[in-house]
Amino acid sequence: MGAAHLQKDWTSLVYAFFNLIPTICGIDGRCVHEFACSVCGCKVKVHQYLDTKDARSTGNMRKHVKLCWGTEVLDAADNAKDASEVRTNIVGSIQQTGSIVAAFERKGKGKITYGHRQHTRTETQ
């Protein structure tokens, strides 16, 4: 069973936020597709059980994308034409241009300030 055979039914744009080919495994004797998030450092794997009526449901994937990537990114993906556009324009650009300043930027709350004071013992616990 090739990757093209598996991907022909995956028309939702949310699949672009996960690795291209899922792991096919068994959990408690049930066949499962295990989708790994494509964010560097994210260890979440979303399972799709193949023996249920909602085997193609992407609700849990959307919940994870909203938490991991943000609501704005998910909304932008919903307005895209297809999954390849989401993968190249949205996911690829965020992964390539992401910087620590952009990650911690506070929108609309003034200038960004940095501190270099060492934390106290209570703050590090």
Q: Answer for the pair 17, 58: CB distance below 8 angstroms, yes or no.
A: no
73-102: average pLDDT: 71
Determine the pLDDT at residue 100. 47
Q: Which are the contacts of 43, defined by CB distance < 8 A and separation ≥ 6? A: 37
80-89: average pLDDT: 77
Phi, psi of 81 (to 5 degrees): -75, -50
Q: How many domains does the chain contain in total?
A: 1
Residue 26 lies in a domain: yes
71-79: list long-range contacts, CB under 8 Å, 24+ apart.
74/14, 77/13, 77/14, 77/16, 77/17, 78/13
pLDDT at 18 over 80: yes
Question: In terms of residue numbers, what domain contains 22?
Answer: 6-107
Residue 103 lies in a domain: yes
Determine the pLDDT at residue 89. 75
Residue 124 lies in a domain: no
- How does pLDDT run across 61-78, given as a tens digit for each residue? 899 888 888 888 888 888
Determine the pLDDT at residue 95. 65
The whole-angstrom separation of Cα 78 and Cα 64 is: 15
Band of pLDDT at residue 112, cut at 50, 70 and 90: low
Residue 113 lies in a domain: no
pTM of the model: 0.65
